[in-house]
């Protein structure tokens, strides 16, 4: 007999207009905030929202870094293998939850690291699988 346990987490970012801080919460527990002074160009709204991963590549010896992204598996490998982000949404100016739709996905080095198309989340928002093994010869993979 096997048992599956599903855990739903909620990550939120919100602006406290009274003190001008942008708060980050995890499962309704405040984790920390960024002072509003860091985001003067945002005023009351954002013009762009991005979710994703990044690997620093200094091209050691003129080759791609050996660093993996996420779990080290490509997104096509899916659940139990590939890393994923779930529950991507944002609050509009009326403080309503909005699910991104028709959002493009892009990988700058898909032979090293890639991203899958968005999928519907179990909770609010959408999710995506991402990552890859990287490696000094990943640019040569085709």
Phi, psi of 53 (to 5 degrees): -130, 160
pLDDT for res 139: 77
| 32 within 8 A of 24, measured Cβ to Cβ | yes
Q: Which two three-digit tokens encode residue 118?
A: 């968005």
- Please list the rounded mean pLDDT of every run of 10 residues in the chain (142 residues): 37 68 76 79 70 78 82 94 88 81 85 90 85 86 60
CB atoms within 10 A of CB 112: 24
Measure the CA–CA gap between 66 and 112, rounded to whole angstroms.
Answer: 10
Q: Which two three-digit tokens encode residue 72?
A: 């080290």
pLDDT for res 80: 93
pLDDT for res 22: 77
pLDDT for res 8: 44
Residue with tokens 């010869």: 137
Distances (CA, A) of 90 to 19, 50, 93, 112, 134: 21, 11, 10, 29, 31
Q: Which two three-digit tokens encode residue 112?
A: 């090293």
- In this structure, the strands spanning 11-16 and 119-120 are unpaired
pLDDT for res 39: 72
pLDDT for res 7: 36
Q: Can you list the positions of beta strands (E) in 17-98?
A: 21-26, 29-35, 83-88, 90-91, 97-98
Measure the CA–CA gap between 129 and 114, rounded to whole angstroms.
Answer: 8
Q: Which two three-digit tokens encode residue 28?
A: 């309704």
């Amino acid at each position: 007999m096997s048992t599956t346990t599903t855990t739903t987490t909620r990550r939120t970012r919100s602006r406290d207009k009274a003190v001008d801080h942008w708060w980050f919460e995890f499962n309704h527990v405040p984790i920390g905030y960024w002072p509003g002074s860091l985001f003067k160009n945002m005023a009351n709204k954002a013009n762009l929202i991005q979710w994703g991963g990044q690997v620093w590549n200094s091209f050691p010896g003129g080759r791609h870094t050996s660093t993996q992204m996420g779990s080290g598996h490509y997104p096509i490998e899916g659940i139990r293998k590939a890393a994923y982000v779930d529950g991507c949404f944002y609050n509009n100016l009326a403080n309503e939850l909005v699910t991104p739709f028709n959002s493009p996905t892009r990988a700058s080095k898909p032979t090293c690291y890639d991203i899958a198309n968005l999928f519907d989340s179990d909770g609010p928002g959408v999710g995506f699988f991402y990552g890859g093994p990287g490696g000094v010869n990943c640019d040569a993979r085709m």
